[in-house]
Amino acid sequence: MTITSVCQSFFNGALDRCYRLSPCLADPATRSSLGLKVALVMLHLIYVGILFLFDNHLIDKTKQDPWYIALYLLLFIATLVQYFVTSGSSPGYVLDAMRALNEKNAVFAKASMTAKTLTCSYCNVEQPPRAKHCHDCDKCVLQFDHHCVWLGTCIGWGNHCRFWWYICEETALCLWTDILCIAYLKANIIRAWWKDAIMILLLVILSISLIFLLLFLLFHSYLILTNQTTYELVRRRRIPYLRGIPERVYPFSKGVCRNLYEFCCARSNIYKLERLPTAIEIEEKSRPHTCLDFLTCRCC
């Protein structure tokens, strides 16, 4: 056996072990949900730990203004708690909704949706409007938005509100940590070059993450205000009940104020089955807003 073959065998073995320890995120069969959660928690702990380890002024500020650091640590804990609450929540599955409905409501729901509902070809259940089969979870999800890899669950009707609050808290924590890193570099830029190099690297990664989080937060805020989902927005032309509707018409929107109310305050029942809008309602939504409509709050 030559040295080349030995090296190649060792490299292939090492690469194989790396793939097993850090599986492909795109493959639901091999990736580990627990591993992703541990990695995310460790990432948060590393950032906070390095900040307190390097920045002596931050420790002094803890003694002078304990409320400032207490608020930061409270946001840090709240973000991690919200992450685990969201990852453990149910997005609202179609099968659970069908079991939860009593006979009277089931008859009413079937009568109102018989003509336009589809049957899922994967799990052979009737799909109400806005539902979709998630291949990662292998279940049909009500008001499916997307499957979140780092949460390890789908985002749907049942947990979209929790997901938005998690993104909001994560964005605020990222921004605050960014400010603390910049404050450290301004005060200690010429003292220890290796500390500065580590902090600059962390700051660059944090800033890129902050940009993505801000865009993600704005995107989902827009979806909430218009009562849309990511899947409906991205795959609009492929969804049968949305093909005949103009692109700038939001068929499920009830106005900004009503959308916000239902998103924030009316989500106690995760098994809501929405009906398709009628042709008259779509025509009404297609009509452009006038000054009188704004005065009468029709847009809201």
Residue whose C-alpha is closest to residue 273's, from 87, 111, 89: 111
Average confidence (pLDDT) over 215-241: 90
Does residue 2 form part of some domain? no
Does residue 264 form part of some domain? yes
Does residue 23 form part of some domain? no
Does residue 104 form part of some domain? no
Does residue 166 form part of some domain? yes
- On the question of pLDDT at 21 being above 80, the answer is no
Residue whose C-alpha is closest to residue 251's, from 220, 226, 225, 287: 226
Does residue 101 form part of some domain? no
Counted domains in the chain: 1
pLDDT digits (tens, 9 = 90+) for 255-292: 888 888 888 876 555 566 777 887 887 777 777 766 55
Considering only residues 8 and 92, tell me which one the structure prediction assigns the higher pLDDT.
92
Which pTM value belongs to this model?
0.80
Question: Are residues 250 and 201 in contact, defined by beta-carbon separation less than 8 angstroms?
Answer: no
Does residue 79 form part of some domain? yes
SS3 230: helix
In angstroms, rounded to a whole number, what is the distance separating the alpha carbons of residues 132 and 139? 8
pLDDT band, very low/low/confident/very high, at 105 (cuts 50, 70, 90) = low
SS3 133: strand
Range of 179's domain?
36-91+150-295
Give me the pLDDT at residue 14, please.
45
Active site residues: 148
Does residue 212 form part of some domain? yes
